């Protein structure tokens, strides 16, 4: 590539971001067409995709070399010290070029090749089908043409952009459409119109010939402002938050005052409150709701998608969440390329709107640990790829642009890759039964909003808990499944040979034959005992195929009680061993 | 019986109980000598039994003849009772007030409590110093048990038996005791089997303004050093505070007299500053206005998490000295009964796998808190809601538990116990039917004859049925030293409390 002048620099130091004593690792820096790669002396590799780079900064020369600070969109920050200034300058310039492409065609997605053939790729793109989704929701029906989202045929969430009303203008057709939406709800004769902007902003817009609906002109509407700030406020809020968190030797008080002055959690709470208002209007009052902001693709998308998530448990599954993103974000024209700064464009159009949505979802998963099929890792992975430009899904700013780019022919869809790996993203505490039909009612009292460390410090391993309960439960579940399978295998073997000798002796023989080869028995003593005993037990109690599922779900059930994972497993083990 | 005089109205019908997160319950309110009981008299609903000693503060309000009593508990619960009839309400309120502020320890519930369970193992004898000593006497012969404090004459806040260097005789200990605050001469707190390094703790040296010294004291702590090795003294006060202490006869170890020791000051706040921090924190948590900025600024202003960070940092430093530097340490503040114990006990959690098991943790509390003379009676007399400020109250033990919880969160599989165990300890430290946390030190407990007259908390906790509630199913013994992160981003607020 023409931008790369130096491909390899040795003796580069990678500084520990938080260390006050300038702890560092020494290694070699490589520059490829798509990635920046650092391999340290322990052969640990750090890969940084060029598209993830938000900013590159060259600091003043020091005695040990030339410092290069790279901030990434996935909140990784790396601080290199390159021994020679010339190398540093070359890398700096290359990265500046590589991280800000001018044309869509230069993005990674157009060169990324995961070794699939065309039909596989096409299948990938067809994985999420919105027409199918509307069918699932039950539209079109006698009240609705295929135009927007609906929920249990009664109340509906609708979305649009602000009316161009100015101070006095009105539009009869618009009034009629709203009337029609309102009538489409057979239960309730009024509807809500939610303007997600602060009232002041909406009033200011009137001066520019835009504005908001006048309650007098529209019959049967109830108007509501919910005060979510605009993209510019959000951008600088995140900027402040990251500045605070990047401080070395941060004190607790500075952290909290920084968190407060950034306003980040306040904005998150505002989005959440709006979604809750929406969900309540629909479930409690059975009223349809029309949501809009200025353009109808940022705040509106946040509120509609979160509202749907609260109302419909389907969206809380892995597949459903993909559908939700396709529906409320991609197809309704959230300007991903501009908001994520995929191309070298107007920095004022960049804003963490989608990141905020993911954070709201994370807060919900924290409050309802069993309601979501996916875990935090899924959210982080999606966040990674809205910026990576590795897949075609998030390229472009609207559906029209995407069709013009021929994304479906030239790039791959992210969703099939996530689905293939879905094991990594499963939430072990998920209980599909107990939450299937319930509407989530989160509590938005302030102390329920916490700083999302695993997002904003996802690469700062030293700040994370050292052991993960999720992984352990996941492994245990896997082991259990494997053990159940072993039991079944043994059982069938016993049946095959049942005309020989007595069962007891056979069991023992079989056990000996299975033990060494079973891969799951390596961990702890209790698991070894487990395999021993249920085998004998199996002859009496295990009939048919349902047991594996039962025990699996028993665990999940137990976790649902107020102290997750506490006594239950102990009982599970005890029961199995005695 | 005297309680009867204090109870003006023993029973009121049609009282409505409001609790957060529960539906309101209507029932009969009864007052006994130690409990406030509300029962709906239906089989299926649970009854509320509240110990008077758990009551921190009460407010009363009247609307017409309907009186409302708001009871704020030491475990931070707030409950509300609607009582019909002005007179009944006033009577109940004054009775509760009188019963919750009894002066005499011997009138407290533990002296009247008769266990409903069979005592399998008497908790009073579960963690004897002799047994604890045996755990490391196999690894080293440099230490001995001393009975010098048998009659509590040398140090009133120490137990009768302490562990000291073998080369120091009782006579020398008596001399050192006169040189240390409260007679708290340096004693062994923890022996690190991996490299033979130790943690000792004591009170501040009484150097005063004229730089008094004590040869025996120097000899005692030097006796713990290997040839050519240096040790660290961790002073839990800032240098400034330590210097000011000299004016009142206290002070710190002078380099000139302790050339083999390096002194480090790691300031940890104490007394009313901690109490105010807790009061602010609880107030912030109870603020029902959904305002994010206010919550964050209140949380910040409470400084609670700053204190947590300070304590954890000091404990990590202590553990680092022992495990990484291979150096022995002496820890003290002023009295050596508060911040000193936080640091010594947390360092052990970090260093010693045994202290992360249930029994090991109980032994740690017994050794480093109860026997080491943390004044529970004074520190836990009131909690976050009380207005009458006495300077002795401080949530020192709660801060310690919070720190343990922070480590537990970072290492969820390395602890045999769970969060509920820590909460249970917190509740019992403030109000309990057991005698374990009564009194300020062993000497007082001995005078109160707690062993004979009350039940030990450990007798109850260590029953298999109870233990299962406190067991962490993900526990897998981890024999390593665990290093927690103390960055602010890693220290969330403990919601369980």
Structure tokens at A212: 């908001």
pLDDT above 70 for A166: no
Q: How far, CA to CA in Å, does B55 sit from each of A319, B48, B385, B426, B429?
A: 51, 14, 9, 15, 13
pLDDT above 60 for A538: no
Q: Which pLDDT value is given to residue B75?
A: 81
What is the chain A residue with the closest CA to B406? Answer: A465
Structure tokens at A224: 């509501």
Residue length of chain A:
578
Q: What angle do CA A367, A372, A378 make, to 5 degrees?
A: 105
Determine, for residues A18 and B487 on separate chains, whether the beta-carbon distance falls below 8 Å.
yes
Determine, for residues B487 and A465 on separate chains, whether the beta-carbon distance falls below 8 Å.
no
Q: Is the pTM of this model over 0.80?
A: no
How far, in Å, CA of A131 to CA of B356, rounded? 56
Residue length of chain B:
497
Q: How many other C-beta atoms are found inside a 10 Å radius of the C-beta of residue A127? A: 16
Structure tokens at A252: 């607790």
Structure tokens at A254: 């500075």
Determine, for residues B473 and A567 on separate chains, whether the beta-carbon distance falls below 8 Å.
yes
How far, in Å, CA of A13 to CA of B349, rounded? 35
Provide the phi-psi class of B85: left if phi over 0, else alpha when psi is between -120 and 50, else beta. left
Average pLDDT over residues A67-75: 86
Q: Which pLDDT value is given to residue A435?
A: 56
CATH numbers and ranges of domains, chain B: 18-84 (2.30.29.30)
Least confident of A40-54, A544-558, B34-48, B342-356: A544-558
3-state secondary structure of B373: coil
How far, in Å, CA of A529 to CA of A518, rounded? 14
How far, in Å, CA of B350 to CA of B480, rounded? 9
Which comes out higher in pLDDT, residue B363 or A465? B363
> Active-site residue among A293, A304, A340, A360?
A293
Structure tokens at A479: 């082991």
Q: Which pLDDT value is given to residue A528?
A: 31
Structure tokens at A411: 């790039």
The DSSP secondary-structure symbol of B329 reads E
Q: Show the 3-state SS of A236-302.
A: HHHHHHHHHHCCCCCCHHHHHHHHHHHCHHHHHHHHHHHHHHHHHHHHCCCCEEEEECCCCCCHHHH
Q: Is A341 labelled as part of a ligand binding site?
A: no
The DSSP secondary-structure symbol of B114 reads -
Nearest chain A CA: its distance from B300 CA (Å): 6
3-state secondary structure of A103: coil
Q: Is A255 on the interface with B (CB under 8 A)?
A: yes
Determine, for residues A256 and B296 on separate chains, whether the beta-carbon distance falls below 8 Å.
yes
Cβ-based contacts of B299 with chain A (< 8 Å): 256, 447
How far, in Å, CA of B397 to CA of B345, rounded? 11
Instruction: Return the closest-CA partner of residue B496 out of A358, A464, A566.
Output: A566
Share of chain A above pLDDT 70, in %: 72
Q: Which pLDDT value is given to residue A358?
A: 92
Structure tokens at A502: 């007595």
How far, in Å, CA of A340 to CA of A329, rounded? 13
Q: Indicate the angle between helix axes B272-286 and B292-302, nearest 10 degrees.
A: 170
Which comes out higher in pLDDT, residue A139 or B47? B47
Q: Which pLDDT value is given to residue B344?
A: 92
Q: How far, CA to CA in Å, does B139 sit from each of A134, B169, B192, B255, B339?
A: 73, 21, 10, 31, 29
Confidence band (pLDDT; 50, 70, 90) for A474? Answer: confident
- The tens digit of pLDDT for each residue in B416-457 reads 888 888 888 888 888 888 888 888 888 888 888 888 888 888
- The tens digit of pLDDT for each residue in A108-131 reads 878 777 777 777 777 777 777 777
Determine, for residues A252 and B309 on separate chains, whether the beta-carbon distance falls below 8 Å.
yes
Q: Is B12:B92 a contact under the CB 8 Å cutoff?
A: yes
Which comes out higher in pLDDT, residue A113 or A528? A113
Q: Which pLDDT value is given to residue A85?
A: 84
- The tens digit of pLDDT for each residue in A93-109 reads 888 888 877 787 778 87
Q: Is A211:A165 a contact under the CB 8 Å cutoff?
A: yes
> Which element (helix H / strand E) includes B198?
strand B197-201
Backbone angles phi, psi at A211, to 5 degrees: 140, -140
How far, in Å, CA of A197 to CA of A31, rounded? 44
Confidence band (pLDDT; 50, 70, 90) for B44? Answer: low
Hey, of A17, A237, A252, A559, which one would you mutate to test binding to chain B, going by the most B CBs within 10 A of its CB?
A252
Structure tokens at A204: 């200011």
Nearest chain A CA: its distance from B496 CA (Å): 10
> Which element (helix H / strand E) includes A199?
helix A199-207
pLDDT above 60 for B410: yes
Q: Which pLDDT value is given to residue B479?
A: 54
Q: Which pLDDT value is given to residue B14?
A: 81
Determine, for residues A250 and B488 on separate chains, whether the beta-carbon distance falls below 8 Å.
yes
Nearest chain B CA: its distance from A562 CA (Å): 11
Determine, for residues B489 and A245 on separate chains, whether the beta-carbon distance falls below 8 Å.
yes
Structure tokens at B495: 């919601």
Q: Is A231 labelled as part of a ligand binding site?
A: yes
Cβ-based contacts of B420 with chain A (< 8 Å): 563, 566
The arrangement of strands across the sheet holding A35-40 comes to A45-49, A35-40, A24-31, A8-15, A77-82, A66-72, A53-58
Q: How many other C-beta atoms are found inside a 10 Å radius of the C-beta of residue A85? A: 13
Start-to-end CA distance of chain A, whole Å, equals 67
Q: Which pLDDT value is given to residue A540?
A: 27
pLDDT above 70 for B467: yes
Q: Is A575 on the interface with B (CB under 8 A)?
A: no
Cβ-based contacts of B288 with chain A (< 8 Å): 445
Average pLDDT over residues A248-252: 75
Q: What angle do CA B388, B390, B396 make, to 5 degrees?
A: 115
**C-beta contacts of A337-341 below 8 A and 24+ residues apart:** A337/A104, A337/A394, A337/A395, A337/A396, A337/A397, A337/A401, A338/A397, A339/A231, A339/A298, A340/A73, A340/A386, A340/A387, A340/A394, A341/A54, A341/A73
Q: Which pLDDT value is given to residue B493?
A: 54
Q: Which pLDDT value is given to residue A513?
A: 44
Least confident of B167-181, B273-287, B326-340: B273-287
Average pLDDT over residues A495-502: 70
Nearest chain B CA: its distance from A37 CA (Å): 28
Q: Is A320 labelled as part of a ligand binding site?
A: no
Hey, of A75, A227, A451, A566, which one would you mutate to test binding to chain B, going by the most B CBs within 10 A of its CB?
A566
Determine, for residues B490 and A253 on separate chains, whether the beta-carbon distance falls below 8 Å.
no
Q: Which pLDDT value is given to residue B433?
A: 84
A138-142, A385-389, A546-550, B225-229: which has the highest mean pLDDT?
A385-389
Least confident of A286-290, B192-196, B242-246: A286-290
Hey, of B277, B280, B489, B491, which one would you mutate to test binding to chain A, going by the most A CBs within 10 A of its CB?
B489
How far, in Å, CA of B187 to CA of B198, rounded? 10
Cβ-based contacts of B287 with chain A (< 8 Å): 446
How far, in Å, CA of B430 to CA of B312, rounded? 23
Q: Is A269:A284 a contact under the CB 8 Å cutoff?
A: no
Q: Which pLDDT value is given to residue A361?
A: 92
Q: Which pLDDT value is given to residue A501?
A: 59
pLDDT above 50 for A519: no
Determine, for residues B485 and A462 on separate chains, whether the beta-carbon distance falls below 8 Å.
yes
- CB proximity list for A149: less than 8 A, separation 6 or greater: A134, A137, A139, A156, A157, A158, A159, A304, A308, A327, A328
Q: Is A522 on the interface with B (CB under 8 A)?
A: no
Tell me the torsion sign for CA atoms A462, A468, A474, A476. Answer: positive
Confidence band (pLDDT; 50, 70, 90) for B345? Answer: very high
Average pLDDT over residues A524-540: 30
Determine, for residues B414 and A467 on separate chains, whether the beta-carbon distance falls below 8 Å.
yes
Least confident of A56-70, A292-306, B475-489: B475-489
- The tens digit of pLDDT for each residue in B67-91 reads 888 888 888 888 888 888 888 888 8
Q: What angle do CA A216, A219, A221 make, to 5 degrees?
A: 90
Structure tokens at B17: 């109980």
3-state secondary structure of B73: strand
Average pLDDT over residues B318-335: 87
Start-to-end CA distance of chain B, whole Å, equals 37
Question: What average pLDDT does chain B have?
Answer: 82
Q: Is B457:B434 a contact under the CB 8 Å cutoff?
A: yes
- The tens digit of pLDDT for each residue in B369-404 reads 988 888 888 887 777 676 666 677 788 898 898 888
Structure tokens at A322: 């993909």
- The tens digit of pLDDT for each residue in B160-187 reads 888 888 888 888 888 888 888 888 999 9
Compare CB distances from B285 to A18, A253, A447 and report the shortest one's residue.
Answer: A447
pLDDT above 50 for B353: yes
Determine, for residues A463 and B469 on separate chains, whether the beta-carbon distance falls below 8 Å.
no
Confidence band (pLDDT; 50, 70, 90) for B478? Answer: low
Structure tokens at A376: 């935090």
A293 is catalytic: yes
Question: What average pLDDT does chain A have?
Answer: 72
Average pLDDT over residues A162-169: 48
Nearest chain A CA: its distance from B114 CA (Å): 28
Cβ-based contacts of B297 with chain A (< 8 Å): 256-257, 260
Q: How far, CA to CA in Å, does A286 sit from each of A151, A179, A192, A241, B115?
A: 10, 16, 10, 39, 55
**If contacts are CB pairs under 8 Å, which of residues 440-479 in chain A contact chain B?**
444-447, 449-451, 453, 456-457, 462-469, 472-473
**If contacts are CB pairs under 8 Å, which of residues 425-444 in chain A contact chain B?**
444
- CB proximity list for B406: less than 8 A, separation 6 or greater: B308, B312, B484, B490, B491, B494
Cβ-based contacts of A524 with chain B (< 8 Å): 476
């Amino acid at each position: 590539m023409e931008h790369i002048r130096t491909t390899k620099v040795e003796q580069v130091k990678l500084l520990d971001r938080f260390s006050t004593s300038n702890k560092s690792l020494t290694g070699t820096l490589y520059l490829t067409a798509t990635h920046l790669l650092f391999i340290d002396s322990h052969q640990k590799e750090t890969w940084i995709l060029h598209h993830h780079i938000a900013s590159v900064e060259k600091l003043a020369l020091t005695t040990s070399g030339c410092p290069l600070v790279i901030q990434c969109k996935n909140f990784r920050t790396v601080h290199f010290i390159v021994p020679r200034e010339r190398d540093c300058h070359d890398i700096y310039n290359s990265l500046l070029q590589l991280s800000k492409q001018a044309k869509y065609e230069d993005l990674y997605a157009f060169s990324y090749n995961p070794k699939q053939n065309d039909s596989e790729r096409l299948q990938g793109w067809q994985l999420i089908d919105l027409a199918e989704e509307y069918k699932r929701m039950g539209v079109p029906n006698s009240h609705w043409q295929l135009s927007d989202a609906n929920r249990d045929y009664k109340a509906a969430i609708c979305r649009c952009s602000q009316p161009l009303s100015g101070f006095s203008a009105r539009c009869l057709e618009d009034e009629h459409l709203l009337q029609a939406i309102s009538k489409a709800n057979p239960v309730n004769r009024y509807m809500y119109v939610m303007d997600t902007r602060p009232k002041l902003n909406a009033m200011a817009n009137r001066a520019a010939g835009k504005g908001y609906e006048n309650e007098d002109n529209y019959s049967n509407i109830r108007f509501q402002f919910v005060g979510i700030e605009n993209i510019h406020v959000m951008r600088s809020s995140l900027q402040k938050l990251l500045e605070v968190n990047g401080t070395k030797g941060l004190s607790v008080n500075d952290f909290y005052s920084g968190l407060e002055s950034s306003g980040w959690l306040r904005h998150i709470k505002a989005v959440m409150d709006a979604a809750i208002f929406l969900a309540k209007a629909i479930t409690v009052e059975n009223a349809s709701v029309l949501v809009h902001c200025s353009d109808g693709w940022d705040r509106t998308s946040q509120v509609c998608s979160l509202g749907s998530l609260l109302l419909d448990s389907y969206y809380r599954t892995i597949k459903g969440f993909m559908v939700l993103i396709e529906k409320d974000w991609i197809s309704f024209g959230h300007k991903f390329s501009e908001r994520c700064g995929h191309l070298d464009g107007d920095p004022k159009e960049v804003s963490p709107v989608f990141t905020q949505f993911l954070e709201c979802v994370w807060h919900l998963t924290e409050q309802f640990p069993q309601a979501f099929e996916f875990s935090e890792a899924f959210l982080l992975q999606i966040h990674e790829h809205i910026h990576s430009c590795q897949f075609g899904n998030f390229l472009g700013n609207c559906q029209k642009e995407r069709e013009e780019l021929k994304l479906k022919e030239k790039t791959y869809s992210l969703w099939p890759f996530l689905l293939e790996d879905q094991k990594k993203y499963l939430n072990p505490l998920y209980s599909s039964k107990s939450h299937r039909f319930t509407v989530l009612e989160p509590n938005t009292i302030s102390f329920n909003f916490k700083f999302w460390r695993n997002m904003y410090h996802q690469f700062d391993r030293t700040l994370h808990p050292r052991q993960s309960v999720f992984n352990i439960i996941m492994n245990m579940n896997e082991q259990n499944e494997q053990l159940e399978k072993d039991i079944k295998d043994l059982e069938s073997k016993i049946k095959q040979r049942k005309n020989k000798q007595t069962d007891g002796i056979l069991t023992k023989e079989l056990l000996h034959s299975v033990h060494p080869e079973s891969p799951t028995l390596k961990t702890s003593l209790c698991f070894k005992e487990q395999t021993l005993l249920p085998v004998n037990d199996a002859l009496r109690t295990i009939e048919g195929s349902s047991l594996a599922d039962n025990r699996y779900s028993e665990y999940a059930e137990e976790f649902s009680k107020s102290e997750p994972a506490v006594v239950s497993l102990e009982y599970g083990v005890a029961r199995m061993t005695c | 019986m005297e309680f009867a005089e204090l109870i003006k109205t023993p029973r009121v019908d049609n009282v409505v109980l409001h609790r957060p997160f529960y539906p309101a319950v209507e029932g009969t309110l009864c007052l006994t000598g130690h409990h406030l009981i509300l029962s709906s008299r239906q089989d299926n609903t649970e009854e509320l039994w509240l110990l008077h000693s758990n009551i921190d503060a009460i407010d009363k309000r009247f609307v017409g003849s309907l009186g409302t009593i708001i009871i704020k508990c030491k475990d931070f619960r707030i409950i509300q009772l609607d009582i019909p009839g002005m007179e009944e309400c006033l009577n109940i309120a004054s009775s509760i007030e009188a019963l919750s502020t009894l002066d005499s320890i011997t009138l407290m519930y533990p002296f009247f409590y008769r266990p409903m369970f069979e005592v399998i193992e008497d908790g009073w004898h579960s963690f004897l110093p002799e047994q604890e000593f045996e755990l490391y006497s196999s690894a080293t012969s440099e230490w001995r048990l001393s009975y010098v404090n048998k009659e509590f004459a040398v140090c009133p806040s120490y137990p009768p038996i302490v562990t000291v260097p073998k080369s120091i005789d009782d006579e020398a200990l008596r001399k050192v005791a006169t040189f240390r605050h409260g007679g708290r001469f340096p004693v062994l707190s923890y022996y690190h089997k991996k490299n033979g390094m130790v943690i000792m703790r004591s009170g501040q040296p009484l150097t005063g303004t004229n730089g008094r010294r004590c040869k025996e004291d120097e000899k005692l702590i030097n006796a713990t050093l290997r040839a050519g090795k240096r040790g660290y003294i961790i002073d839990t006060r800032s240098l400034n505070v330590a210097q000011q202490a000299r004016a009142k006869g206290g002070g710190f170890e002078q380099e000139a007299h302790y050339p083999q020791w390096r002194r480090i000051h790691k300031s940890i706040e104490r007394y009313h500053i901690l109490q105010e921090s807790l009061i602010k924190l609880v107030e912030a948590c109870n603020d029902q206005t959904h305002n994010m900025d206010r919550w964050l600024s209140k949380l910040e202003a409470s400084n609670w998490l700053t204190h947590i960070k300070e304590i954890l940092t000091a404990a990590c430093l202590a553990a680092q000295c022992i495990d990484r530097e291979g150096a022995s340490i002496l820890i003290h503040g002023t009295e050596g009964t508060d911040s000193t114990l936080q640091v010594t006990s947390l360092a052990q959690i970090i260093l010693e796998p045994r202290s992360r098991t249930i029994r090991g943790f109980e032994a740690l509390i017994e050794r480093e808190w109860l026997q080491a003379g943390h004044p529970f009676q004074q520190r836990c007399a009131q909690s976050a809601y009380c207005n009458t400020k006495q300077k002795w109250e401080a949530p020192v033990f709660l801060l310690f538990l919070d720190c343990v919880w922070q480590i537990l969160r970072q290492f969820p599989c390395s602890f045999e116990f769970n969060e509920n165990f820590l909460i249970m300890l917190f509740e019992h430290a403030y109000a309990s039917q057991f005698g374990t946390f009564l009194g300020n030190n062993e000497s007082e407990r001995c005078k109160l004859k707690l062993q004979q007259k009350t039940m030990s908390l450990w007798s109850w906790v260590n029953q298999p049925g109870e233990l299962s509630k406190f067991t962490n199913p993900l526990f897998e013994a981890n024999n390593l030293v665990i290093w927690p992160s103390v960055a602010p981003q890693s220290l969330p607020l403990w919601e369980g409390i």
